[in-house]
Each structure stands twice: as C-alpha cells, then as structure tokens.
Structure 1
C-alpha cells in the first residue's frame, strides 16, 4: 500500500530577506566603507553683547527718558513749571462742545456761614455775543448752573447788606467733559470778605458813599483763574503717570544694554514715546530711537569648541 503524500509542501523563499531595521527606516544598510570629512564650517551664535550702534541708541533713550521724567515733575508741581493746571484745562476746553459744563458751589460769609438768597451771576464771552445767566442760593447757600460753555467766565456774587449791595467778582475756569463723561463738573465755594472791606473800596462814580460796593478779583486772576480742585488732582496724577512711564522705559533700556536684545531696546523706545516731554520732545526722540533700532546690524560669534572628557570618548 502506498504511503500518502505529505499535505504540507515546503515553500522556497523567492525574495531577499529584508532586515527589520531597514523596513522601519526605509534606508538600506550601507555596504561600503564610511568616510568622514570636515567641511570646515563654523557654527555661529548671536552675539550676546549689544552692538555699538545699539549702545548709542540706548544712551539716546536714557536722555529721552529724562525728558519724560522732567515733564512728569512739571505736571506734578502745579504751582511751578512751564505748564500749569489751568493752562492744561483751558486748552482742553477750547475743543470741548458747548453747553457741556456744570457749575456748582456754596457761598459763605466771613464767619463761614452759608448765605441765603445771594445772587450768583455767570457771564462769558461767546464770540461776538456776551452770554449771562443768573440764579440765587438756597438756605444752605448752594447754587447750581447747567449747560454752560467750558472755558473762562466771570462770576459775580451779589449780597444785600442793609442799604448796600456788595458784589464779589472772580474769574473762573469751567472744566470740560472728561473722555468718559459727557459733562464736565466744576465745584467752587466762595467766601465773601467782611463788610468792612467792601466799605473801604472806592466808589466807581467818585462819591464818598455808594449803594453798590464791589471787590473785583478778576485783575489778579488773569493768569491763574479759579478752577475745580479735582481738575488739579487729575493734572497731578497725569504727572506721576509720565514719571512712571519714564522710569519703566529707563529700566527696559538698561535691561537691553545688559542683555544685548534689540527687541527690548525697541520696546523701551516705544514706551519713552508716551512720556511726551516739554514741547513733545520725548515723542519726537522716541520715534527717532524706535526707527534707529531697525538699523542695528546683527552680529554673530563662533560657538566655542569644548573638549569632551576622555571617559566619554
């Protein structure tokens, strides 16, 4: 009886055996000898030291920061300096819309007691027209005006004292609206001089006695009129803001000089722009310094070759 043939036949491989690593990488194993050669290329890295042009710009920025700081000191000193709070508020009032000022206050006598039924008259020059509005104080001596034009105005306070009418005149600056408010508020309290001072004033018609006695302070307030104390506080706060920006820009400038970063130096120039300076000097110099930072060339130095320890070779 014949033996059955084996059901499993041996299959001879027809393809070359591919290395497992070659299948993963897709790269055949090199069969020839490897040869290494040097291209004499030098690895470069950015120079951590700032360029000489960058150093010159940094010194220029320090001077610009000084201008911004001095401008802040000027703003923070309302009683001295090139720019006063009243001048600052007056400039803003020139571009403010009409009828956007509110004027409030209290009238006191020389004993610091509120005066009732005192007449408060506000008048201001509106181009070719002289406007005037009048109100009276209440029991608490308070008065209020609305829809006035921001800017300079004359305020006359009339008080009846026996057979005389005493008039106390002042020059007042109405605050314009702030950037976030539609109305500007001005609050000023007035204290009338005693009756003796009014009696000592000469009469306008040359008589020894007159019914209307007046103390006019407007001639003494031509350069610095009365204004809201809150406006002065905002002015001083702006001054401290300028000083803070100048100090921040100075810090960024010194940081750039130590790190050699042109980006930090450019940031310092941008911050110094907002310091303004007198006559916008810091703004102009800040723009010049910002543009000059783009002219600073990039410098590179070769990477230092360090010898590895013999145990790692």
Structure 2
C-alpha cells in the first residue's frame, strides 16, 4: 500500500499559486478543501483569506442551487417495492442496523436507500452528520456564500447531476463495496474523522490520500482502483479543462476537494503539464 504513495506529485500543501509565464495576467490560486463543517477548517488561514480576497472569480466543484437537495432526494431512493437488503449479506445488514442506532435513524427507513446513498450518508461520523442537519455549512459552501456576499462571480466546474451520475452508473457490487468500507469502520468513525482533520490541518494531502486508500482497501482492494479512476482521475481531467478559460483571464480562485490536487492525474500536475508555473503558498 505504501508503494502507491511513492513519487506522488504535489502531496503536501493546500494553496498553490498558478501562473502562466506566457500570459501577463493576475495570478490564479488553487485551494484544496475538505467537505466538512468543523470550525477549525472553516477558520481559514491568513494566506488563503488573502488569496481569496483578491479573486476576480471563484470556481468550485459545483455551484450551489436551490434545487440540488430535491434532486438528491429524488435519486437516493430505490424503486418502490425494492429494499437494500436485496444487495447486502447478513453481516452487512447487521452493521446497517448498528449504523441506524448510531446515527439515530429508523432502520426501516434506511432500507429504502440505494447502497451508494448509504455510503454517502455514513462517510461522515454522527457528530458531523448532526452539524450538517442543524444547518452548519461545509467549508466549500461557506466560501461560496462569502464570495457572493462580496460580489465575486461564482462558477461550478461540475453539476450535481454529473456528480450523482457517477454513483448511479456504478455497478451494484461497487456500490456495495463502497458501503461495506464505511460500515466496517463504524466503531472508529469518529477517530478516523479526527485523523482526517489533523492531516488536513497539517496540509498533508498525501496522508489523506493514503488514509482513503486504507479505508476502502479494508473492504475490497479493487474498489479503490475503480473509485480513483471514476471519482478522481476522470473528474480531474474534466475540471482542468473547464477552468482553462478563467485561468487564462487571471485572478481565478479555485476551491476543490484536496484529494483532487496530488498525483500524476491530479489537478496540479495536469496544470503543470499545460505549462503553468506552480508555487506552493500554504
């Protein structure tokens, strides 16, 4: 497993200045986020605040829309008459029952959800789930709100439809493998979440990458390879293409999940391969 981390480019740092040597425009910035509500993360470092304050435009994975929640609710449920028990073995159903108790959700209600939706639900610990339910904003959403408050145009690099389609197109066995990876870590979910936050606050993105691999490999080694290709590599290529127009005009602030930054097919390496000059700021 550690061998995968060898020579992974751009594994340290969360804020990078992106300049085009052939184009005399204001520098751009790429900031790696983590999709959580924790106050330690929302309290942005001064270096990030400064770069964000200079932004001409702000780019995020998706641009918030009022209809997103309704679309999500529409897609997460199985067809009438179906149950997630059709996809899970007895051990997984036992763990699902445990998750229902841990998160304070009626177990019968959980059986109506698709396996990928349950994976998404239990990818965060009960404490984080409770904060989100109470209306606390994740870092990305809080930054979008701040940008709008200051009159900075906000753009999305993807749509919620595109993101959800990645889950929808995943074969049943892959969806179950994703779900199994989180169900088997219910006892350590709060500790694992704190480990993630500590790695992020230390700007150790490579460490977060290894943690993600370890968590999913615990269930199915093939699941990680599929997950990386589908949810990271493919999306990185699309996002880099879609940010080009804004980068060439200069003054763009790009905020995307930190796992999109490192690696051969990470956003930063892809930008460098296009001729941009990258400088780690924080």
TM-score w.r.t. length of structure 1: 0.26
Q: Which has the higher relative contact order, 1 or 2, with Cα contacts under 8 A spaced 6 or more apart?
A: 2
Bigger Cα Rg = 1
User: Which one has a larger percent helix, Structure 1 or Structure 2?
Assistant: 2
Greater strand content: 1
